[in-house]
Copies of this chain bind each other. A is one copy, B any other.
Amino acid sequence: MTCHTAPVNTAARRPARNRPAPTLEEVAARAGVSRATASRVLRGDQKVSERAREVVLAAAQEISYVPNLAARTLVTGRSESVAFLVEESEERMFADPFFLGMLRSAQEAVATAGQQLVFTVMNRPEDQERFLAYAAGGHVDGVLLLSLHGRDQLPQRLESLGVPTVLSGRPLSGGRRLWYVDADNVGGGELATRHLLDSGRAHVATVTGPLDMCAGQDRLAGYRAAVEAAGRPYDEGLVSVGDFTAAGGHAATVRLLDERPDVDAIFAASDLAAFGVVRALRESGRSVGDDVAVIGFDDVPAAADQQPPLSTVKQPIAALGTAMTRLLLDRIEGRPGLTRRTILPVELVLRETA
């Protein structure tokens, strides 16, 4: 006869009284059925008799059985959770209404699907390795990735480890093979610029975002398209490079006014930049909306609270978050017929600056 030593049960989860957590085995024993049958009942599988169902459910209830998810994940390969990963400082993540809005809608969409969201903000390079191991280790079934920097290969690495990833915003490189959801930045730039042109402005300028980011490039492309569609020449003198911040917008405007004092309309590539534009215009003695029309981009909450309220291109933040999440969940499920690239429409919100 083999001598079994008592099971040592290293650190396994155990409820308050220090009993080990009940297992499926115990439920089955108590119900007088096999483990397989108990499993089928608890997962809501079809092939079980009504009697078996009742008796198993009762047994599970009695001993407050909760399935061990690690064991389940081990066999199914699914964790029923996805990561929300932001490559930014905590500072920026929590200061930016865009990130918060995305987090909010992603959380809602994930919860609606009955799954969990693992929220991570990544700063230091070592964070990246750790996250990679975490994700590839099977603790999440997929990744929502925001604010990818430069030509960072993180999404490629995740995909090659078998972790489906969906980006927010078109990536600078690898756009062909990666999955992403983006706002219609080109269309938004066009929309704003066309409005300025149509309202009779003679010299419509733009204060751009950083041109090493897709959103910056695309909004500028939209500006240019609208200008050319109106049969006007694309004039580089009317393009001043900023960086999406208020300070950058201010500086870009100062330069612009210096070279081209005749400017009577400015499309700013972000609302924050627009705030800087407005300040610079004021400082130069021009009236905003009257002498110079201004349109921003994003529609952050503060835009409506400005004096005068800022006209802007509204990004559908909630829809972006929901779309990313749905796309990721569909990929995880292996739904066929999905497309790598989703572009959501933007909308011109006219207030008082244009």
Residues of chain A whose beta carbon lies under 8 Å from any beta carbon of chain B: 10-16, 21, 64, 66-79, 81, 84, 90, 93-94, 100-101, 103-104, 107-108, 111, 114, 116-121, 127, 130, 132-134, 136-139, 159-162
Contacts and interface: CB of A to CB of B under 8 A. Distances in A.
Contacts of A130: 114
Nearest to A119: B119
A77 B161 contact: no
Contacts of A75: 10
This chain: copies in complex:
2
B116 A104 contact: no
B76 A73 contact: no
Contact of A134 (B14, B69, B119, B132): B69
B160 A15 contact: yes
A74 B23 CA distance: 13
Given A16-B160, A117-B118, A117-B120, A137 B67 contact: yes
Contacts of A114: 130
Contact of A15 (B72, B103, B111, B161): B161
A193 to B, nearest CB: 32
Query: By CB atoms of chain B within 10 A, which of A10, A64, A111 has the most?
Result: A111
A68 B137 contact: yes
A118 B121 contact: no
Contacts of A11: 76-78
Given A67-B137, A81-B118, 19 more contacts: A10-B75, A10-B77, A11-B77, A12-B77, A13-B138, A15-B160, A15-B162, A67-B133, A68-B137, A70-B70, A70-B71, A73-B73, A90-B108, A93-B104, A111-B120, A114-B130, A116-B120, A116-B139, A119-B119
Nearest to A71: B74
A264 to B, nearest CB: 32
